[in-house]
Every structure is written in structure tokens, then in C-alpha cells.
Amino acid sequence: MKKILILILLNISVLFAFEVDIKTDPDMPVKDEAFRLIFEITSEKGGEPIISFDPLGAEVTEKINLGTSTRTTLINGKLSTSRKVSIAYIMQPQQIGSVFIRNIKVDLNGETKKIDTIRKTVLSEPRRARDIFALAEVDKTEAFVNESILVRYYLYNKVSVTATDIVKFPDLDKFMKRFHQEKLRPERVRYNGEIYLRRIIYTAQVFANQPGEYKIDPIKMSVSYTKSRDPFDSLGFGGGFARQSKLSVTSKPIEIKIKQLPIDNVPKNFTGLVGKHDFKLKFNKSRFVVNEPIEVKLEVSGAGALELFEAPKILTDPSIESFEVTSDLQLNADFKASKSFEYTYLGRDNYTSEASKLGFSYFDPESLSFKEVLLDIPAIKIAGTSASGKKKQGENKLGAASENNSNAQNNGNLVPVEQFDYYTPLYNLHNTYQYNSKYIALVFIILALLVLFIKFKDDIAGLFKEEETHDLFSRIMKEGISYGDLYLLSELLGKDQDIKSRIQKSELPSKHKTYLLELLNKFDKSYKSNKNKVFKTNKGIIKDIKKHLSGEDEF
């Protein structure tokens, strides 16, 4: 009997060799928002626990080690030390209703503990104010085709945030989009009756070119925070000694309705632009001579989709030839854009025009009407005669002379005519080489130089390429790498059509490939607001790539 009692006590001590406490944060998850499934494992021994479970109705997106704490107590003169390990799993609920955590097992130091199924209810809306959440806001939920829609993604927090990382940017693939870098100025705001600290994380301006139902995609962020209740601790005051935690937050998508523009009374000079726009037209002067450049500049500014606005025709008379049109688009801090077109025309013949007007129309969504702007085209004077006109005039003079000569013969008057010896050649063939010797020698010299160039072109090109490669690496090492530099560098690695393929198929080690691909990913994310972005480089890796390309080193 005593042996049986000892076995029972031993089994009990083994059974309670460690304890597991499981909780969720928040206790009641909300649809489209991630929650944390937290395991707290307490034991008297060390070791790392092995956790396994089967989620139903939610997806595991990340595992986070929250840290380890120890506790020492004195009982009846004996010291007892316990160790608590906290591990969190970031869960993304897939629907409103119930989430089940099944087949839960925790292994520690060769012992296994099984835990009953846990059920959590997923709500459509939170029952209490959240400490941290992401929110997308738009300046309008209904817009016309090609009308500007401003989207701002905010982080709201009531506790101290120490770091924010964007895990997934919003796609917004169905829109034409611009990305803006706004200053991150935190501000206190009231949301659902609670005071939060709010800051802008990401700003986009989008345009839809077809009517229909659209969706503003969510943004997903990973947020590190402390338990301090003062959100302004995240600015660097306090919170430094508080325990750090991590949370994944996702904004909710927003439905947008895009309406078709009115089809009645659309002006012929409609530009396709929506919203108020300003137009300016400038000529370099109004009086020209034939073949003198006529320079015209058109400037358009406003909040519309100027990327889609093509250069309109300004001067259309056949006497004026359109020679060249260039354009330039500038994005402004006030979410408007300016696009300028510079035209070059050539007057080909004598031409005079009266002052006239040139009209442009845009659609005003506030008044639901088309507005027209009239620009002044000055009176233009082109003086002179084209070469074809002179030729024609000369032909007329010859015809008149011939006619006069014929009339004179008919009148019996003698007209002297120059006599030609049609049987004596104009030049002697044996003098041809002597007469053209200098030209023939020049031809032979050019041919000789051409042969030499063809023979040594690879060496010459190699010299230029080597110099360009040296300049490229010197610039990258000194100033950092731009997107253009990365493109030139990728051309040295391979001949594929895109940068990514050149890097992946190159003979570089995986470490160097990964570094270059990470740079490419940074540039893809940054347009996106700043096409001239320059990143600092890992000089050791850049030196390795240079040595490899120059043949000094082989990996």
C-alpha cells in the first residue's frame, strides 16, 4: 500500500512538472483584425517548450517569443525558483463566428501536456475600445471617372508605440495611383469617444478610369509597443523600461463607388480632366521668318489625372509644320500636379493669321457641369518664301523667257544663240584621276580607318566599358546607389530583359544576390513616392561584385 501511495505522489509531481496558461489578446477577436494567442509556460526546470495545435477558422501568420521571466520564493527556509516562458502566435480570423484551437500539445523536457480545445468568438465590431488599430480614411466614397481620391492610412494608439513596420502595402491595382510622403506629425484625436494618438503611415492618391464598384485595399502593419497608457511615451519620453510587446494590425477595406461622367452636352474640347484646372499658353514671339522656330509652351495644373492628358494641337495650318513636342509632369505637395508641353513649329511659307482663342474644358464635380477655359493665340506673321516657292517662281521666269524668244523668232528678229561642239567631250578620261586624286585618297583613308575600327572595336569598347564600370562603382561607393545605378549594375551581370532575372541568373553568391534583390524591393516600394531615392550600400558586397566583374576574384 505504501508503494502504491509513493507511485501516485510521483505521478502527481510529474503531472505538474510544468503549467500552461493560454489566453488571447484581445479576448474577443474582431473580423479582419489579427489577435494574439499567448502561451505562458511555467516550470521549475529550464528548456524550450515545443508547442503544436490545429487552428480552425483562423490562420497563423507569425510566431513571436515574448521573453522569459524568473521568480524566486522562500518557503520553509528553502529557495524555490520558477521560470515562465511567453510565446505568442499572431492569428488572422477568417470569418465572423467561432475560432477553434484544437489538438493543443506542449512538450517540455521530455514531458507532454495535452490541453482541451479552446473556442473564441470573432465579432464583427469590437465591444471595447482597442489600444492600437490601423484605419484607412478617404476624402470621398463616391467619385467620377478620373476624379482624384485621397487615401490616408493611419495608426491609432492609446499605449506607447516604439516601432512600426509595414508588413504588406495596399495593392490598389485597379487604380492609377500616386504615392505621397507626408510629414509624420502625431496628433491627439477623439475616436468613438476615446482619446488616441494618430499618425499618418502611408498616403496614396488614386484615380479610377472606369465606372463601377472599387475597394480600397487594407494595409498590414507590425507594431511594437509597451503597456504604458500614455501614447506620447512613443515619442521617446518614458516607456523605455516597460516590457515590450508586439502586435499585428490590419485596416479594414473601404468600398468606393465610381460614377460615369455625364454623356449629355460633352464639349468637343473636353480634356478628360475632372476637377478645377488652370491653363496657360505662351508664345516666344509673334513675328517670324520662314524656317525660324516657333516655340509654344502650354501649362496645365490641377488635381486631375494629368498622366493621361496628351499634348493637344495648337497650330494646325498647313504652312506651319509641327517639329517636336516634349512634356514634363510635376507632382506638388498639395496633391495637385502640373504638366507642361513645349512645342516647336517651323513656318514653311509666307503666313498671316488673326488673333484667336483656343478652348479647353474640364468637368466640375461640384456643379456637375463642364467648364471651359479660353486661351489667347496671338496674331502670327511669317515672312519669306519657301524653297519650293522660289523654284516655282524661277520656272515661271524661264517659261516667260522661252515664250519671249519664240515670239522674237516669229517676228523675224535674230537672237544670238551660244554654239556648242557636240562632238568634243567636256573632259578627257585620262585626266579624271589627276583631277579627283585628293578625293580618291580621302576615300582610301576613310576605308583604312573603318577597317582598323572594325578590327579593334571590341578593345575600344572594352576601354570605354571599363571606364564606365569604374565610374559606376566609384559613384555607388561614394554617394550610395540609385535605381538607375542598380539598372546599370544589373546589365553587367546578365542580358535578361529585367533587373530581377539578371540578378537571379548571375554567378554571384546567394548572399550577394539576396542583397541586390532587397535593394530592388526597396526601390519598388519607394516610387513609388520618390523616383530619385538613393540608398546607402554595403561597401564590402559592392567591392566583391566589382572584383568579380573585373576578373580579379572568382567566387
Which tens digit of pLDDT belongs to each residue from 177-213? Answer: 888 888 777 889 888 878 999 999 999 999 999 999 9
Question: E strands along 76-148, which residues?
Answer: 78-93, 97-108, 111-115, 118-122, 132-138, 142-144
Res 506: pLDDT: 85
| Residue 422 placed within a domain | no
Q: Residue 416: pLDDT band by 50, 70, 90 thresholds? A: very low
**Mean pLDDT computed over 261-278:** 91
Q: Residue 418: pLDDT band by 50, 70, 90 thresholds? A: very low
Res 95: pLDDT: 83
In three state form, how does the secondary structure of 496-522 look?
Answer: CCCHHHHHHCCCCCHHHHHHHHHHHHH
Instruction: Report the CATH number that the domain containing residue 103 is assigned in CATH.
Output: 2.60.40.1510
H or E stretch including 245?
A: strand 244-250
**Mean pLDDT computed over 366-394:** 78
Express each pLDDT in 14-24 by its tens digit.
444 788 999 88
Q: Is the pLDDT of residue 305 over 70?
A: yes
Residues 232 and 180 in one domain: yes
Q: Is the pLDDT of residue 368 over 70?
A: yes
Instruction: Identify the CA nearest to 275 among candidates 426, 442, 185, 148.
Output: 148
Residues 163 and 224 in one domain: yes
Res 11: pLDDT: 46
**Mean pLDDT computed over 97-104:** 90
Q: At what angle do helices 510-526 and 539-550 cross, to 10 degrees?
A: 120
Percent of the chain with pLDDT over 70: 78
Q: Is the pLDDT of residue 554 over 50?
A: yes
Contact 227, 242 (CB under 8 A): yes
The rounded distance, in Å, linking the Cα atoms of 528 and 536 is: 18
Res 324: pLDDT: 81
Half-sphere exposure of 2 (CA within 13 A, CB side): 0
Query: Domain ends where: 88, 122, 156?
Result: 122
The rounded distance, in Å, linking the Cα atoms of 476 and 539 is: 9
Res 150: pLDDT: 94
**Mean pLDDT computed over 258-270:** 90
Res 546: pLDDT: 83
Q: 156 or 232: whose pLDDT is higher? A: 156
Express each pLDDT in 122-137 by its tens digit.
888 776 678 899 999 9
Total Cβ atoms within 10 A of residue 28: 13
Res 464: pLDDT: 52
Q: 449 or 298: whose pLDDT is higher? A: 298
Q: Is the pLDDT of residue 422 over 60?
A: no
Res 490: pLDDT: 83
Q: Residue 8: pLDDT band by 50, 70, 90 thresholds? A: very low
Residues 281 and 335 in one domain: yes
Res 403: pLDDT: 47
How big is the chain by its Cα radius of gyration, in Å? 40
Q: Is the pLDDT of residue 345 over 80?
A: yes
Residues 99 and 163 in one domain: no
**Mean pLDDT computed over 140-161:** 93
Instruction: Report the CATH number that the domain containing residue 374 is assigned in CATH.
Output: 2.60.40
The rounded distance, in Å, linking the Cα atoms of 57 and 37 is: 14
- Please classify residue 439 by burial: count the beta carbons closer than 10 Å to its beta carbon, then call 0-12 exposed, 13-18 middle and 19+ buried: exposed
Domain that holds residue 211: 132-259
- Please classify residue 61 by burial: count the beta carbons closer than 10 Å to its beta carbon, then call 0-12 exposed, 13-18 middle and 19+ buried: middle
The rounded distance, in Å, linking the Cα atoms of 243 and 226 is: 6
C-alpha torsion 180→184→186→192, nearest 10: 30
Q: Residue 230: pLDDT band by 50, 70, 90 thresholds? A: low
Instruction: Identify the CA nearest to 126 among candidates 251, 29, 229, 246.
Output: 29
The rounded distance, in Å, linking the Cα atoms of 492 and 502 is: 9
294-298, 321-325, 397-401, range with the lowest pLDDT: 397-401
| Number of compact structural domains in the chain | 4
Res 409: pLDDT: 44
| Residue 405 placed within a domain | no
Residues 292 and 370 in one domain: yes
Query: Domain ends where: 196, 224, 259?
Result: 259
| Residue 179 placed within a domain | yes
